[in-house]
Amino acid sequence: GEDVEQSLFLSVREGDSSVINCTYTDSSSTYLYWYKQEPGAGLQLLTYIFSNMDMKQDQRLTVLLNKKDKHLSLRIADTQTGDSAIYFCAERTGTASKLTFGTGTRLQVTL
Protein backbone atom coordinates (compact mmCIF):
# COMPACT_ATOMS: atom_id res chain seq x y z
CA GLY A 1 0.00 0.00 0.00
CA GLU A 2 0.92 3.64 -0.12
CA ASP A 3 1.97 5.53 2.96
CA VAL A 4 4.19 8.58 3.26
CA GLU A 5 5.53 9.84 6.57
CA GLN A 6 7.20 13.06 7.62
CA SER A 7 8.18 14.63 10.90
CA LEU A 8 5.78 17.40 11.88
CA PHE A 9 8.07 20.26 12.81
CA LEU A 10 11.56 21.61 12.18
CA SER A 11 13.10 24.80 13.52
CA VAL A 12 16.32 26.25 12.09
CA ARG A 13 18.23 29.51 12.36
CA GLU A 14 18.41 31.85 9.41
CA GLY A 15 21.48 31.06 7.33
CA ASP A 16 21.70 27.44 8.44
CA SER A 17 20.78 24.45 6.28
CA SER A 18 17.43 22.72 6.72
CA VAL A 19 16.93 19.03 6.08
CA ILE A 20 13.39 17.74 5.80
CA ASN A 21 12.95 13.98 5.71
CA CYS A 22 10.31 11.71 4.26
CA THR A 23 9.80 7.96 4.11
CA TYR A 24 7.48 6.11 1.77
CA THR A 25 6.38 2.53 1.44
CA ASP A 26 5.42 1.96 -2.19
CA SER A 27 8.42 0.50 -3.99
CA SER A 28 6.77 1.08 -7.36
CA SER A 29 6.85 4.86 -6.97
CA THR A 30 7.95 6.52 -10.19
CA TYR A 31 8.39 10.13 -9.14
CA LEU A 32 8.75 11.83 -5.79
CA TYR A 33 7.90 15.47 -5.25
CA TRP A 34 8.44 18.29 -2.82
CA TYR A 35 5.79 20.98 -2.48
CA LYS A 36 5.73 24.12 -0.33
CA GLN A 37 2.57 25.59 1.16
CA GLU A 38 2.44 29.06 2.67
CA PRO A 39 -0.50 30.23 4.80
CA GLY A 40 -3.67 30.68 2.80
CA ALA A 41 -2.07 29.44 -0.40
CA GLY A 42 -2.05 26.33 -2.55
CA LEU A 43 0.87 24.00 -3.16
CA GLN A 44 3.95 25.33 -4.90
CA LEU A 45 6.04 22.74 -6.73
CA LEU A 46 9.64 23.01 -5.53
CA THR A 47 11.34 20.10 -7.18
CA TYR A 48 10.91 16.44 -8.06
CA ILE A 49 13.07 13.42 -8.69
CA PHE A 50 12.69 10.32 -10.80
CA SER A 51 12.92 7.13 -8.81
CA ASN A 52 16.04 5.88 -10.58
CA MET A 53 18.03 8.97 -9.56
CA ASP A 54 19.99 9.40 -6.34
CA MET A 55 20.28 13.15 -6.20
CA LYS A 56 19.02 16.30 -7.80
CA GLN A 57 20.24 19.82 -7.16
CA ASP A 58 18.37 22.98 -8.03
CA GLN A 59 19.92 26.23 -6.73
CA ARG A 60 19.52 26.12 -2.91
CA LEU A 61 17.59 22.86 -2.99
CA THR A 62 19.12 19.38 -2.93
CA VAL A 63 17.00 16.24 -3.06
CA LEU A 64 18.48 12.93 -1.97
CA LEU A 65 16.76 9.64 -2.66
CA ASN A 66 17.68 6.33 -1.04
CA LYS A 67 15.50 3.90 -2.89
CA LYS A 68 16.67 0.90 -0.88
CA ASP A 69 15.50 2.49 2.37
CA LYS A 70 12.60 4.35 0.70
CA HIS A 71 13.90 7.59 2.17
CA LEU A 72 13.70 11.01 0.57
CA SER A 73 15.17 14.24 1.90
CA LEU A 74 15.09 17.90 0.95
CA ARG A 75 18.00 20.09 1.93
CA ILE A 76 17.58 23.86 1.80
CA ALA A 77 20.88 25.70 1.92
CA ASP A 78 21.19 29.15 3.53
CA THR A 79 17.63 29.01 4.90
CA GLN A 80 15.80 32.35 4.87
CA THR A 81 12.75 33.60 6.76
CA GLY A 82 10.82 33.38 3.50
CA ASP A 83 11.36 29.64 3.57
CA SER A 84 9.05 29.35 6.59
CA ALA A 85 6.15 27.20 5.38
CA ILE A 86 4.82 23.65 5.38
CA TYR A 87 6.69 21.24 3.14
CA PHE A 88 5.01 18.18 1.70
CA CYS A 89 6.61 15.22 0.06
CA ALA A 90 4.48 13.15 -2.30
CA GLU A 91 4.89 9.98 -4.28
CA ARG A 92 3.43 9.10 -7.63
CA THR A 93 2.90 5.60 -8.91
CA GLY A 94 2.41 4.99 -12.60
CA THR A 95 1.06 7.47 -15.07
CA ALA A 96 -2.02 8.58 -13.17
CA SER A 97 -2.06 11.98 -11.51
CA LYS A 98 -2.81 10.49 -8.13
CA LEU A 99 -0.25 11.66 -5.59
CA THR A 100 0.02 10.30 -2.06
CA PHE A 101 1.12 13.08 0.27
CA GLY A 102 2.91 13.04 3.56
CA THR A 103 1.50 14.89 6.57
CA GLY A 104 3.71 17.90 5.94
CA THR A 105 6.64 19.34 7.89
CA ARG A 106 6.27 22.82 9.29
CA LEU A 107 9.58 24.67 8.89
CA GLN A 108 10.14 27.58 11.25
CA VAL A 109 13.09 29.86 10.53
CA THR A 110 14.30 31.94 13.45
CA LEU A 111 16.57 34.99 13.45
Tell whether residue 13 is a contact of another protein (CB under 8 A).
Answer: no
Tell whether residue 50 is a contact of another protein (CB under 8 A).
Answer: yes
Alpha carbon separation from 60 to 19, 79, 94 (Å, rounded): 12, 9, 29
57-64 own/partner pairs: CB under 8 Å, 24+ apart? 61/34, 63/32, 63/34
Tell whether residue 45 is a contact of another protein (CB under 8 A).
Answer: yes
Site string for another protein, 75-94 (x = CB under 8 A): -------------x-x-x-x
Tell which one of 22, 72, 84, 104 touches another protein (CB under 8 A).
104
DSSP 3-state of 67: coil
How many residues at the interface with another protein, by CB under 8 A? 25
Tell whether residue 8 is a contact of another protein (CB under 8 A).
Answer: no
Nearer to another protein, 8 or 111 (CB): 8
Report the alpha-carbon distance of residue 108 to residue 111 in Å, rounded: 10
